[in-house]
Amino acid sequence: MDNGTNTSFCRHLKSAALKNPSDLAVAVQKSQFGKLYYDEINFKTLNEKSDAVAYALNAYGIKKGMKAVLMVTPSIDFFALTFALFKAGIIPILVDPGMGIKNLKQCFIESKPDAFIGIPKAHIARKLFSWGDKSVKHVLTVGGNKFFTRMTGQMTLARLLEKHTVPKPYPIEMLADDDMAAILFTSGSTGVPKGVVYSHKMFEAQIFALKNDYKIESGERDLATFPLFSLFGPALGMASIVPDMDASKPITANPKYIFAAIEKYQCSNLFANPALIEILGQAGKEQTHKLPSLKRVISAGAPATLSSITTFSHMLNDNVEVLNSYGATESLPLTKIGSKTLLATQNITDSGGGICVGKPVLDVEVAIIKITEENICDWQEVIENDLLMPANKIGEIVVKGPMVSQAYYERISATNAAKIQDKAHVRHRMGDLGYLDQLGQLWMCGRKAHRVETLEQTFFSIPCERIFNTHALVKRTALVAITHKNSTKPLLCIELNKGVKISEFELFSQLTDIGKNFAQTKGISDFLIHPSFPVDIRHNAKIFREKLAIWAQKKFNPGD
């Protein structure tokens, strides 16, 4: 990995433009009246366009050190704008529109953007909900028709480029390793969204991991279903093929469009979250579809179910695996595991052993510490207080590596709660529970906040839920804590498969019998059937257990 003191994510695009100028950099799929077409741009043109955009932004008053919210759908303009912001040393603020109106407004209050760059729909929402009204001084519209621009009087990217075209390379602003280069907000699916401070050093570490651990090479073509990951394509010398889908709601994607894009460009790589893996797998099964060009599939964001991986894998060549990655916005990727190794662990998972997420990628160190809600300022405290856990003992997952973020933006208390100083490095407390086995593999046991502690024992969400999920009629379960007679007890919420008919008495008796067979679930004897779990939009896998806990408390004790 490059350990230079000054760097920029954009240097990789510039390098690709020099080495392979005419190679495809980005193709964006669009659909109209049922027909598909594609906007394409090569490395040379993308590099030049981002140079032009950087000059235009500066002329418009958006300059180095300023912060700019970017709410632009995946498009060639999105790529040109993002690389332009990085080149100019302007800090892009990337938010997930799926996090909800209230959370989005809070993100803008905290990050205090100087500029707002978005599609017309984003600008309408900005005005309607007063996003960034106290800090935004520069507004720029991307796309939209002439009526919208006349009505609002806003400057568009197209007009800005017409007025301020500088036909020469832009001098890339090189930043120190730990300087703030971007702010990426967490999705808020497990709490209030927080702005993660990204540096170019973190981006460099992610690029290094993709090259070294995932073996991605220049010249490949990636079907990119997540905007941030799609930016790594041009940085790796790989073409990013963007399908026509709502990236914030992957469960609404049309599998036919995705299959068509993969086949047209003979994509070798696919990045898809677990929800999309399941949707594509089912579509492939129904259509007996094959994807022979793929030589690598990367899944991240939430644990994929073993059944969905098995179904999806039928479309792949025998030697191709789904590589499951563990990490978070604060630090990604951390570990990886191939689907063949993962599927071999199914019996352990079904017996309450947690989900295996593999071994750490190069330069990442994973440790397990005793569960505590206390802040830990320095790693020496862990050593001196004997907080390190041995193999096969569940505790909180703590990570160290070059892709690990140093802080949250304007969130001192959250930073103090999640970060541990270790000499020149910062370790990050993942907020996840798990253990390392004798082989150094990491096993996930759920969120720390989702454990249920009683006087008798501690119940962990993933181990308990996976045991009960083995019941043939159960789609998924969620462990929550309820209060009964002034004591905490575990309760299991159940979502059944569609069309299932069974009496509660019979089902609950069967589940109780299953639970008695395992130490992890012996104390669980209370169950409730829920019609449809509240889940996050992006992954359709992260269950909002906090909402379920409130519902379960009311159902179990109606008088409370």
Per-position pLDDT tens, the chain of length 560? 444 457 788 999 999 999 999 999 999 999 998 899 999 999 999 999 999 999 999 999 999 999 999 999 999 999 999 999 999 999 999 988 878 888 899 999 999 999 999 999 999 999 999 999 999 999 999 987 666 666 667 899 999 999 998 999 999 999 998 899 999 998 776 677 899 999 999 999 999 999 999 999 999 999 999 888 899 999 999 999 999 999 888 889 999 999 999 999 999 999 998 889 999 999 999 999 999 999 999 998 888 888 999 999 999 999 999 999 999 999 999 999 999 999 999 999 999 999 999 999 999 999 999 999 999 999 999 999 999 999 999 999 999 999 999 999 999 999 999 999 999 899 999 999 999 999 999 999 999 999 999 999 999 999 999 999 999 999 999 999 999 888 999 999 999 999 999 999 999 999 999 999 999 999 999 999 999 999 877 666 788 999 999 999 999 877 65
Note if the pTM is more than 0.85. yes
Q: Where in the chain is the domain with CATH 3.30.300.30?
A: 454-556
> What would the two tokens of residue 467 be?
């045991």
Partners of 494 in beta bridges = 477, 529
Place of tokens 């951390």: 334
CATH architecture of the region 454-556: 2-Layer Sandwich (3.30)
CB atoms under 10 Å from CB of 390, counted, come to 9
Q: Where in the chain is the domain with CATH 3.40.50.980?
A: 7-271
SS3 category, 501: coil
Give the 3-state DSSP-derived string for 432-487, with helices as H, strands as E and coil as C: EEEEECCCCCEEEEEEHHHCEECCCCEECHHHHHHHHCCCCCEEEEEEEEEEECCE
CATH architecture of the region 7-271: 3-Layer(aba) Sandwich (3.40)
